[in-house]
Structure 1
C-alpha cells in the first residue's frame, strides 16, 4: 500500500488540483488523505473520479476552514470508522497481512486548542486493539530541531505533544527526503521552516510493516509538502530486502565512526525499527563504498602500471609505495568475494557474529 498525505490548503484553486494530479501520476498512491480541502463533498467526489480513485469519504469544511477527505483505489479495501473535523479512522483489510488501522489526522491549528488534539490522539489509541498507524498534519512539533527560524516553539507545547505520543504507546516513523514539511518566507529574513506532518505507529503495526518508508516530497505549489508512506509486506520483502554485513567494511577505518554517529542520530525508536533503519544505512554505505572502491582499484592499477615503466630513483620509490596500496585494495576485494562465495568464513570471521558485535557495541554507547 502506498499512502499519501497532504495539507492542500484548498482544492478550489486550479494550481492545487494540478499539483495533486501530478502527485498521483508520479507517486502512484493507492490511498490519499487531504486536509484543509475547503470544498464540498460534491467537488471531492468529482475530483476523486477524475484522478482514477473509486472510493472516497469526506468530512465537510465548516465555514471557511477545515475539510478532510480520503480517497482510495480498488487495490485497497477499507472500512470507515469514526470521524470528526480532525480525523478519519479507517480499517485497512488486506488478504496478505492482518487487518490494521489507519487514522488520518489534522491537529488543531490554534495553540490554545492543542490540548484537544492531544486528548483526541490518546482517545483514539484506546478504542481498538488493531495494529495502528496515525499520520497527517499534526500542527505541532516534538523537538526544538523541528523548527528553524525566528521565535522558538514553546516548550510546553512540545512537552504536551510528546506526552500524548508516549501515553498512546506510539513510535515515530523516521522521515527521509528532508527535515521539514512546511515553510514560509523562503529566502527572506523571515524564513521559517517546520516539521508539522508526521506518522506514528504502534508496536504491533511495526511488526507488520518493519520495512516501511516515510518520505517528504517538495512541490511547486503550497507552503505544505506532502508526505508519503510506502509499506512493504514483511512476508514478501524477505526476497526484496536482504541485508548482508560485509567483512571488508571493517577494513575501512571510518566505518565504525560513521555507523556510531548514525546510530546516535536516530530518534528514540523501539529496537526493531531502529535496527531496520541501521541496516538500511549500512547497506547504502556498503553500496557507495563498493562503487568507490571499484573505481579506486582501477585508478590504482593505472598508477602502478605507469610507474612500472619509469627507471628514475623517485619513480621506483613511488612504485613500491603505490604497489603496497594496490595490494591492500586487492585484500579488500578478496575479502569481499570470499564472503560472496561463502568460503573461508572461519578465516575471515563469521559474518553474523561480527554484525552482532557491531550492534552490541552500538547499544553500549
Structure 2
C-alpha cells in the first residue's frame, strides 16, 4: 500500500497537474492526499477520473487559500470520519479487514496560530483508540536542524510541537531515500527548503505495519516536496525478507560491540522501531561479514600454504596465525550450515561437505507449502485461504472430544523366540566385525 501526500500549492496551474500525473504514474499510490489545492470539488472530480481513482473527498478552498482532497483506489474500503479546513480523518479497512485510522493534516500556516495547531492535533488524538497514522504538511518543525538559513527557528516553537507529539503518544516515521533540506538560487534570492511535511504514527500502528518506508521526491516547480509512505504487508511473500539470527555471529567479538554501539546510537523512541532497526543492522552486519565463506576459506588456505615451508621465526609465527584464522572460519561455516540443515546428528568435527549444503537448501524447498486441499477436495493456492484451511483442520482436531473405545487390542506376547534372543545378545566375533567394516 502506498500513500502519497503533497502540498501542491494550487492545481489551477497545468504544470502542477503534469507533475502530479508523473508522480502518480511512477509511484502508483493507493491513496493520494493533496493540500493547498486552491480549487473546488469539480476540479478534483475531473482529476479523479483522469488519474483513474475510484472515490474522492474534498474540502473546498476558501477564497484563494486552502483546499484539501483525498483520493483512493477501488481495492480499499475507506470511509471519511470527519473533516475541516485543516484535516481529513478517514478509517481504512485493509490487509485482511484490519481497521486503522489515517488523518491527512494541514497545519495553520500563520506562526501566531501554532498553538491552535497543537491543540487541534491533541483533540484528534483523543477521538479514537484505533491504530493511528497522521501525515501531511504540519507547517511546523521538531528540530533546529530542520531549518537552514541565517535566522534560527524559535526554540519555544520547537519545544511546543515536540511536546505535542509526545503527549499524543506518536512517533515520527524515519525518512528514507532523500535529503529533505535543500537550497537553490535564483538570481540574488535564495530559497530555503524547510522540513514541514512529516508522518507520525502510534505504536499500535507500528505493530500492524512494522515494515514501512517514508521517502521524499523532488517536484522541481514547488518548494513543497511530496512524501510517499509505503506500507509493506506482513503477509506471505516469496520476496519478503525475514530476519533470522545466526548462532555463528556470537563467535565474533566485534558482533556484540557493534550491535551495542548501534543500539546506543538510536534516538529515544518506542521499543518496536528500535528492535526493527537493530534486526536490520544485524542482518546487514551478517551479510557483510559472512557473505562468501568459500572465498575467505580459499584465501586463508593460500596464506597457510605460503608460510608452510618457512623455517624462520617470523614465518612460523605467521603460519600458525593463519592456521588459527582458517580454523575459526571453518568453525563459523560449520555452525552456519548446521543451523540451516537442522541435522542434529551432525556433530562438531564432521566434514562440511556439499551434502550438508544441499540438505539445507533442499529442506527449505521441501518445507515450503504452496497449496492445500480443503475438505471439499478443492486445491487452495491463496495464502489467506490456506491459513483458513489449516485453522479449520486443527480446530476440528482439538474440538473433537469423542473417544473411540473400539481400539484394537494388540497382543503383549513376545515377537522373537528365545533362540533369536540369544543370537542377538551374544558377543560379536572378529569375523562379524571384519565383515561389517568391509
Task: Report the TM-score range of the alignment, normalised by the length of the smaller protein.
Answer: 0.7 to 0.9
Aligned partner of 2:124 in structure 1 is 124
Change (3 A) 1:165 1:317: closer
Cα distance in 2 between the residues matched to 1:156 and 1:318: 62
Structure 1 match to 2:115: 115
2:115 corresponds to 1:138? no
- 3-state SS of paired residue (1:80): strand
Partner of 1:363 in structure 2?
none
The 1:107–1:309 alpha-carbon spacing in structure 2 relative to 1, beyond 3 Å, is: same
How many Å separate the matches in 2 of 1:345 and 1:140?
Answer: 61
In the alignment, which residue of structure 2 is the partner of 1:183?
A: 182
In 2: Cα distance, 1:291 partner to 1:171 partner: 34
String of CA shifts for 1:166-213, please: whole Å, max 9, x gaps.
2222222222224x5353337999574533222112233223223333
- Matched position secondary structure for 2:182: strand
2:163 is aligned with 1:163: yes
Shift of 1:222: 2.8
Counterpart CA distance in 1 for 2:142 and 2:279 is: 25
Rg larger in structure: 2
The equivalent residue for 2:98 is: 98
- How big is the shift at 1:157? 0.6
SS at match of 2:291: helix
1:232 aligns with 2:229: no
Identify the residue that residue 216 of structure 2 maps to in structure 1: 216
1:109 CA displacement: 2.0
Report the secondary structure of 1:171's partner residue: strand
Matches within 5 A, 1:1-365: 1-94=1-94, 96-178=96-178, 180-185=179-184, 192-234=192-234, 236=236, 240-291=240-291, 296-297=296-297, 299-300=299-300, 307=306, 321-343=321-343
Number of the residue aligned with 2:380: none
**How large is the RMSD of aligned CA atoms in angstroms?**
3.4
**1:238 Cα deviation (Å)?**
11
Tell me: CA distance 1:301–1:88, structure 2 relative to 1, closer, same or farther (3 Å): farther
Maintained 8 Å contact 1:213/1:229: yes
Q: Secondary structure at the match of 1:105?
A: strand
CA 268–345 in structure 1, closer or farther in 2 if over 3 Å, else same: farther
How far residue 40 of structure 1 moved from its aligned partner, in angstroms, is 3.0
* Structure 2 portions without partners, runs of 5+: 349-438
CA 39–317 in structure 1, closer or farther in 2 if over 3 Å, else same: same
Shift, 1:237, TM fit: 7.4
Secondary structure at the aligned position of 2:150 is classed as coil
Structure 2 length-normalised TM: 0.68
- How many residues of Structure 1 are paired with residues of Structure 2 in the alignment? 346
Cα separation, 1, equivalents of 2:136 and 2:335: 46
Deviations 1:117-138 (A, max 9, x none): 1111011111222221111111
Query: 1:248 is paired with a residue of what secondary structure?
Result: helix
Distance 1:245 1:147, change over 3 A: farther
Q: Matches of 1:60 and 1:249 in 2, distance apart?
A: 58
Preserved contact between residue 175 and residue 216 of structure 1 (Cα < 8 Å)? yes
- Give the Cα separation in 1 of the matches to 2:294 and 2:21: 42
String of CA shifts for 1:313-333, please: whole Å, max 9, x gaps: 788876665454444333332
Q: Report if the CA contact (8 A) 2:89-2:104 is conserved.
A: yes
Distance 2:198 2:267 in 1: 13
Matches of 2:88 and 2:196 in 1, distance apart?
A: 18
- C-alpha change, 1:189 and 1:267, in structure 2 (3 Å) is farther
**Is the alpha carbon distance of 1:95 and 1:185 closer, same or farther for their aligned partners in structure 2, counting shifts above 3 Å?**
closer
Q: Specify every segment of 5 or more residues in structure 1 that has no aligned partner in the other structure, as ranges.
A: 349-365
**Kept after mapping to 2: 8 A contact 1:55/1:72:** yes
Structure-2 separation of matches of 1:157 and 1:347: 63
Q: Is residue 307–residue 318 contact of structure 2 (8 Å, CA) maintained in 1?
A: no
Aligned equivalents of 2:114, 2:174: Cα separation in 1: 23
**Structure 2 match to 1:361:** none
Higher relative contact order (CA closer than 8 Å, sequence separation 6+): 1
Checking the alignment, whether the CA contact within 8 Å between 2:56 and 2:71 is kept in structure 1 is: yes
